Chain A
Amino acid sequence: MKFYYFHLMPYVMDHDEPSSWVTLSNRLYDPKVGHTLYNQYLDQLEYAETLGWDGLCVNEHHQNCYGTMPSPNVMAAMLARRTSRAKIAILGNGLPLRENPLRIAEEIAMLDVVSGGRVVSGFVRGISAEYFSTGANPTQSRERFYEAAELILRAWTEEGPFPFDGKYYRYHYVNPWPRPLQKPHPPVWCPSQGSSETVEWAAKRRFPYLMVFTPIKRIAQIYGEYREACERFGYTASRYQLTVNVPIVVAPTDARARELAQQHVMWVFNTGLRMHPPFWRPPGYMTEASLRRLLANPPKLPSELTFEEADREGYIVYGSPATVRDKLRVFSDELKAGIVCSGMNGGSHEKTLEMMELFAREVMPHFREDAHVDETAGVGR
């Protein structure tokens, strides 16, 4: 199995506001604290490569304390120069949020060339709240996503210049310099929460599907749907098309790991994802079919998730190295996921680095039967 170190770059804080997104005033952001945090987080990502992680993940979110990376490409650029081996996975760029998505084609190509072809390019729609913070029309989200993806893929693979006359994006000259180094283009991943439309779209193009912060039962269900869709499109999904993002807490004992998970991981759900209810459901962001599926089986709001529920339903992997190995076996052997993306939080920068060391020493080596495999070969393009 491959391990990618995933960072949200949160601005961890407690507050009593109804929403950690969109309306949480940025007067609460202290740039001096931010300076320390950004640099510690980048140190963690760089250290992950030293410790043997296969990839480093950054991602885009706007106007919140949950993840302070409005431009993931900026962070990827720093990693491109400070690392030399690990993949740099941008999970991803919110395509419909850009007025000019050709910029994404350009920026990813720059990163791919600078990094020597180590970039993984996630294509996302951006989560619901993003439509409130950027002004993008949520009713156009899906169409814009498909059109921007087509534009970017063509910009990477067709010789320019060529004209592009879409419904939302129009250019007389598509001809980005540079072109990406990877051929035919950097692998594309689809991080998502399991909408059936996205599953189909990703499966059709062999784009790996990444389940983010999802109960394990639902991961199994969506993986099933994805595999089935791949078969319908005439091929069998590689395990590296099935990826998962789950927080991992490892400590010398189960009891200590449980304590740390309660203290630090639950912040992500209970505070980081606390959202004013309308921000969860911008009009038209979902198809009516998806909405009905959601209403038929409404998921618990992350802000109301208790540790016991998160534990029971498999939102978190925590424990001693032996316990974490057992839990990860479920992902590798039962779900047959090929890549696990996870962030860690030990409560301080130093403790986080120690946790990473423990994981790299006691857990990772037990999952290295595929050490010689390039997980990006033949997938994502």
Chain B
Amino acid sequence: MPERRELSVRGTPVHMLEDGAGPPLLFLHGAGGAGRWLPFQERLAKTFTVRMPSHPGHGGSPAAEWIEHVSDLAFHYLDLLDGLGLARVHLAGASFGGWIAAEIAVMASHRLASLVLIDPVGIKVDGWIYPFLFGMDIPEIVATVFHDPMAALALAPPDQSVETLALQYRQGAALARVAWNPYLYDPLLRRRLVRIAAPTLVCWGAHDRLAPLAPCGETWAREIPGARLRVFADSGHVPHLEEPGAVAEAVSEFCRETKEAR
């Protein structure tokens, strides 16, 4: 069981889960993933000291009014690293969390031992418009995000209480504040990806319908210098949920290799 920690990052309260032993790895969750310590995190914790903070307004972290742009989140996590006294970490992020991780990487690549992006959103990809999840009901969202709909059960809400519905609304609002329009991307990010100097692994679900491998995954792999692309054959947008063992293994292997190469 991961340890639950309550932190204050420059006055912004943060709820964080932490477990494992080994080099530090910061994992940034996607929409709906806050506070969910799943087989993927368990596997990573065998190799790394894994820290998974909930973004402000997600999970147990209260909403922060000051966060109005995705770069605010990136600075927030650089502050978190400072607060934890971590000079360098392995940084991994999935979907929305991958977007934040990429923003951090273009700002402060030197803080990263490695960068792992799992089906990130966040850049404008020529020839692709992300389907508008905010306009979808639950069945449509599941069909867009998951290759295996059963995998969605891991993220299903525990009940339909007022508390649960209010949390979901708060999470949707926190996401919409930074991602409603432009939807799921920062127009400036793509041209900045060239600044990323950390060894980068791009993981992609072969059946991603929110951000398909072609053109999205291929664009990320092309724009980040030296990035390696790994495709997961039985996954949609969330391979770390759909093939947790394989993705965790790929992450561990990549980080080991990059360490040996140095």
Contacts and interface: CB of A to CB of B under 8 A. Distances in A.
Interface of A: 22-23, 132, 135-140, 276-279, 281-284, 286, 288, 291-292, 295-296
Interface string B155-185: 0000000100110011011011100110000
Most A CB contacts (10 A, CB to CB) among B137, B165, B176 go to: B176
Given A276-B137, A288-B170, A296 B176 contact: no
A135 B135 contact: no
Contacts of B177: 137, 139-140, 284
B136 interface: yes
B176 A138 contact: yes
A136 B134 CA distance: 13
20 contacts: A22-B135, A137-B176, A137-B177, A138-B176, A138-B180, A139-B177, A139-B180, A277-B137, A281-B169, A282-B134, A282-B176, A283-B134, A283-B173, A284-B177, A286-B169, A288-B166, A288-B170, A291-B165, A295-B162, A296-B162
A138 B181 CA distance: 10
Nearest to A295: B162
Given A132-B135, A278-B135, A283 B162 contact: no
A279 B172 contact: no
B166 A292 contact: yes
A283 B137 contact: no
B135 A279 contact: yes
Contacts of A282: 134, 176
B175 A283 contact: yes
Given A276-B135, A278-B134, A278-B135, A283 B176 contact: yes
A132 B173 CA distance: 14
Most B CB contacts (10 A, CB to CB) among A132, A138, A278, A288 go to: A278
Nearest to A167: B68
Nearest to B169: A291
Contact of A278 (B137, B165, B166, B175): B137
Nearest to A129: B135
Nearest to A285: B173
Please report whether the interface of chain B is mostly helix, strand, loop or mixed according to DSSP.
helix
A277 B173 CA distance: 16
Nearest to A131: B180
Contacts of B181: 135-137
Interface string B75-99: 0000000000000000000000000
B15 to A, nearest CB: 17
Contacts of A140: 177
A23 B137 CA distance: 14
Contacts of A139: 173, 176-177, 180
A295 B165 contact: yes
A288 B173 CA distance: 10
Given A137-B176, A137-B180, 20 more contacts: A23-B135, A132-B135, A277-B137, A278-B134, A278-B136, A282-B134, A283-B172, A283-B173, A283-B180, A284-B173, A284-B176, A286-B169, A288-B166, A291-B166, A291-B169, A292-B162, A292-B166, A295-B162, A295-B165, A295-B166
A274 B172 CA distance: 23
A249 to B, nearest CB: 34
A297 to B, nearest CB: 11
Contacts of A135: 181
B225 to A, nearest CB: 33
B34 to A, nearest CB: 15
Contacts of B176: 137-139, 282-284
Contact of A284 (B135, B165, B166, B172): B172
A288 B169 CA distance: 8
A138 B177 CA distance: 8
B145 to A, nearest CB: 15
B135 A283 contact: no
A279 B177 CA distance: 17
Contacts of A136: 181
A278 B135 CA distance: 6
Contacts of B134: 132, 278, 282-283
Contacts of B169: 281, 283, 286, 288, 291
Nearest to B162: A295
A278 B173 CA distance: 13
Nearest to A296: B162
Most B CB contacts (10 A, CB to CB) among A136, A138, A296 go to: A138
Contacts of A291: 165-166, 169
B108 to A, nearest CB: 27
A54 to B, nearest CB: 40
A261 to B, nearest CB: 32
B166 to A, nearest CB: 6
Contacts of A137: 176-177, 180-181
Interface string B117-153: 0000000000000000011110000000000000000
A22 B135 CA distance: 10
A286 to B, nearest CB: 8
Contacts of A281: 169
A135 B183 CA distance: 9
